[in-house]
A = this chain, B = another copy of it.
C-alpha cells in the first residue's frame, strides 16, 4: 500500500503564504486578507485553511513564529527561515512547471 502522492496542484496555499512572508513578517489573520488582496480577489482562503498550513510550515521548519502582544490582543507573527526560502523556490518552480504545462495544452492547435 504505497503512500499516495499529494494532488498535483495542492502546493498553492503554501506557496502564497511563503511568498507573502518573504516580503515581511505577518500574522495569520492578516494573511487571510492579504492573500485575497494580493491575488486581486481571485483567490480567497479562509482561516480554516490558513492556520493549519501555518502550523504545519512551522512544524516542518519553514516558518518561525514569534508571539507579540499588540493592544491587549496577541498576534503570532511568522517569518521565513532559510529552509523556508528554499521551500519557496521549490514551490515556485513546481508552479511554473504546471502553469506552463497547462498553458501549452490550452494554446495548442485550434484556439478560438
Taking CB atoms, residues of chain B closer than 8 Å to A20 are 105
- Apart from A19-B105, A35-B105: 20 A-B pairs, beta carbons within 8 A: A8-B43, A8-B45, A9-B9, A9-B12, A12-B102, A19-B106, A20-B105, A23-B108, A23-B109, A23-B110, A39-B101, A39-B102, A39-B105, A40-B101, A40-B104, A43-B98, A43-B102, A92-B106, A95-B102, A99-B102
- The size bracket of the interface on A is 20 to 34
Contact (A99, B101) CB under 8 Å given A19-B106, A110-B23:
no
Residue in B42, B45, B92, B100 whose beta carbon sits within 8 Å of that of A42 in the complex: B100
The reply to whether B23 and A98 contact each other, CB–CB distance below 8 Å, is: no
